[in-house]
């Protein structure tokens, strides 16, 4: 049996498309038309103060590379608010059928990265890990984890996603491990984990499986002593009551027994408002669904110039555009042929020429994360 996965070959050669692009190609070839066009990928036409974080540019570059196209793009990790994030110039039939996958790459990845930035900004000084790959189709696990890292989260859980990204996944123990040792035998589970895993794995004991969190946390600390890095509380929603109070009680109990070096890591159904509420009492967070289940950004691809003439469908803005970041963090959209605002930085930069990624266009995760952090600060994204 095969998985329901559209493979890389179908994406690259363009059968991963909507059928109407097949019809369009057939019709244009029949009519002998293949105009030179400029098309832009845009979410909102005008800035409205709601920034989003761009991701997926690397996959877009992989899709469009090797073709006779000139592509300009906003680099991954930049925040945007209205106007194009990508511009493609070429014969229309060179890329018509790629629109479906191109928009999917950018839309899904940017939605996830934006949600991850919400989380990052909610707890800027806490350890925050991405746990949400379990909620999505495994074929996009690397997209989730790249988005998390681009937004500045500190790590992620998906092993194969990490292999795609060239980064190592992190994690300690699930409830299943503790359950396998049985009720009343949590010490055995924590002890066996400590004996079994490599020294590089932080000893984080899951302390909510059978008994009271404060009780289990103390037992874990007494079992592993100085080797215990942290306890993880993943108290299920139906038993949670006042999670902040539970965390403070665990902290109190650990401190009262001279285990003040043991950190408290919490997870389970958390989003930005929870992190704001808990960031002063917890040392770290695992966030899953809030990031991985984010709505995709509503990108569209629109032709804005054909054979040198400005054009657009109704409701879209004709003409080739540039987007700018001003020193105060503002985002501006203007025609590419006109001057931008004073001291503004143009954000659309050459991405592909002659089928190759332009040498200084850095598609790496670290560069993207640095841009995201800088932009979020300058735009005041998510500051409360």
The contacts of residue 79 (CB under 8 Å, 6+ apart) are 51, 52, 53, 54, 331, 372, 375, 376, 379, 381
From the list 91, 153, 172, 139, the residue with the least C-alpha distance to 285 is: 153
Write the burial class of residue 244 (CB in 10 Å: 0-12 exposed, 13-18 middle, 19+ buried).
Answer: middle
| From 7, 8, 66, 174, residue interacting with ligand PRP (rule: CB under 6 A) | 174
| Residue of 289, 318, 319, 346 interacting with ligand PRP (CB under 6 A) | 289
Candidate list 286, 303, 321, 372; residue touching ligand PRP; CB under 6 A: 286
Name which position in 132, 152, 161, 170 contacts ligand PRP (CB under 6 A): 132
Give me the least distance between CB of 270 and ligand PRP, in Å please: 5
From 12-20, 171-179, 322-330, 340-348, span contacting ligand PRP (CB under 6 A): 171-179
Query: How near is the Cβ of 125 to ligand PRP at its closest, in Å?
Result: 20
- Rounded CA-CA distance 70/84 in Å is 15
Q: How far is the CB of 130 from ligand PRP (least distance, A)?
A: 9
Using CB under 6 A, which of the segments 29-37, 117-125, 264-272, 297-305 binds ligand PRP? 264-272
Q: Is 272 in the site for ligand PRP (CB under 6 A)?
A: no
Q: Examine residue 131 and tell whether it contacts ligand PRP (CB under 6 A).
A: yes
Least gap, CB of 206 to ligand PRP (angstroms):
7
The SS3 of residue 23 is helix
Which C-beta is closer to ligand PRP: that of 202 or that of 334? Answer: 202
User: Within a 10 A sphere around the Cβ of 14, how many other Cβ atoms?
Assistant: 18
The torsion defined by the Cα of 115, 118, 123 and 126, in degrees rounded to 10, comes to: 30
The DSSP letter of residue 170 is -
- Residues of span 350-369 touching ligand PRP by CB under 6 A: none
Taking CB under 6 A as the rule, does residue 175 contact ligand PRP?
Answer: yes
Q: Cα(127)–Cα(270) distance, rounded to whole angstroms? A: 14
Number of residues that bind ligand PRP (CB under 6 A): 15
Contacts of 38 (CB under 8 A, 6+ apart): 87, 88, 89, 303, 304, 305, 320
User: How is residue 47 written in tokens?
Assistant: 């800035």
Q: Tell which residue, 372, 379, 369, has the closest CA to residue 154.
A: 369
CA quadruple 308, 106, 52, 351: dihedral sign = negative
**Tokens standing for 343?**
């001291």
Q: Taking the complex as a whole, how short is the minimal distance between the CB of residue 121 and ligand PRP, in angstroms?
A: 17
Please give the distance of CA 281 from its chain centroid, rounded to a whole number: 26
- Specify the DSSP class assigned to residue 133: G
Nearest distance in Å: CB 139, ligand PRP: 19
C-beta of 293 vs 312, nearer to ligand PRP: 293
Q: Which is nearer to ligand PRP, 158 or 332 (CB)?
A: 158
Q: Which of 71, 86, 109, 270 binds ligand PRP (CB under 6 A)?
A: 270
Q: Which residues of 359-382 are buried (b: 16+ CB within 10 A; e: fewer)?
A: eebebebeebbebbbebbeebebb
Task: Indicate the residue among 214 and 287 with the shorter CB distance to ligand PRP.
Answer: 287
By beta-carbon distance, which residue lies closest to ligand PRP?
288
* Window contacting ligand PRP (CB under 6 A); options: 129-137, 197-205, 324-332, 370-378: 129-137
What DSSP state is assigned to residue 382? T
Polymer length of the chain: 384
For 222, other C-beta atoms within 10 Å of its C-beta total 12
Near ligand PRP in 219-238, by CB under 6 A: 234
Rank residues 47 and 271 by Cβ distance to ligand PRP and give the closer one: 271
Show Cβ contacts of residue 354 under 8 Å, excluding neighbours closer than 6 positions. Answer: none
Among 35, 47, 202, 269, binds ligand PRP (CB under 6 A): 269
Q: Of 267, 302, 320, 371, which one interacts with ligand PRP (CB under 6 A)?
A: 267
Question: What's the min distance (Å) between Cβ of 132 and ligand PRP?
Answer: 5
Q: Please, what is the minimum distance in Å from the beta carbon of residue 112 to ligand PRP?
A: 13
The residues of the shown chain that bind ligand PRP, judged by CB under 6 A, are 131-132, 135, 174-176, 234, 267-270, 286-289
């Amino acid at each position: 049996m095969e998985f329901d996965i559209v493979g890389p070959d179908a994406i690259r050669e363009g059968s991963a498309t909507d059928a109407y692009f097949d019809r369009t190609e057939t019709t244009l070839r029949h009519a002998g038309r293949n105009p030179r066009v400029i098309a832009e990928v845009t979410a909102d036409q005008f800035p409205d103060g709601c920034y989003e974080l761009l991701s997926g540019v690397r996959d877009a570059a992989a899709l469009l590379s090797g073709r006779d196209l000139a592509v300009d793009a906003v680099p991954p990790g930049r925040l945007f608010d209205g106007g194009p994030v990508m511009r493609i110039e070429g014969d229309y039939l060179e890329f018509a059928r790629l629109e479906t996958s191109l928009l999917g790459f950018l839309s899904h990845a940017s939605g996830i990265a934006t949600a991850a930035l919400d989380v990052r900004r909610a707890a800027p000084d806490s350890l925050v890990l991405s746990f949400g790959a379990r909620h999505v189709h495994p074929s996009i696990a690397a997209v989730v984890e790249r988005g998390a890292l681009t937004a500045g989260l500190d790590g992620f859980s998906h092993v194969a996603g990490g292999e795609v990204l060239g980064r190592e996944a992190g994690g300690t123990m699930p409830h299943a491990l503790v359950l396998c040792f049985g009720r009343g035998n949590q010490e055995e589970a924590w002890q066996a984990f400590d004996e079994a895993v490599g020294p590089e794995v932080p000893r984080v004991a899951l302390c909510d499986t059978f008994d009271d969190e404060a009780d289990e946390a103390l037992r874990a600390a007494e079992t592993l002593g100085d080797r215990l890095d942290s306890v993880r509380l993943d108290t299920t929603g139906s038993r949670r009551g006042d999670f902040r109070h539970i965390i403070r009680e665990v902290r109190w109990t650990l401190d009262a027994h001279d285990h003040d070096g043991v950190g408290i890591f919490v997870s389970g159904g958390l989003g930005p408002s929870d992190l704001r509420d808990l960031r002063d009492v917890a040392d770290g967070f695992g966030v899953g669904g809030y990031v991985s289940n984010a709505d995709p950004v509503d990108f569209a691809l629109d032709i804005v110039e054909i054979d040198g003439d400005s054009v657009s469908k109704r409701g879209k803005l004709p003409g080739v555009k540039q987007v700018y970041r001003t020193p105060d963090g503002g985002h501006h959209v203007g025609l590419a042929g006109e001057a931008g605002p004073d001291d503004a930085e143009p954000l659309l930069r050459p991405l592909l020429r002659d089928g190759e990624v332009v040498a200084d266009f850095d598609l790496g995760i670290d560069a993207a994360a640095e841009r995201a952090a800088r932009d979020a600060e300058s735009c005041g994204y998510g500051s409360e």
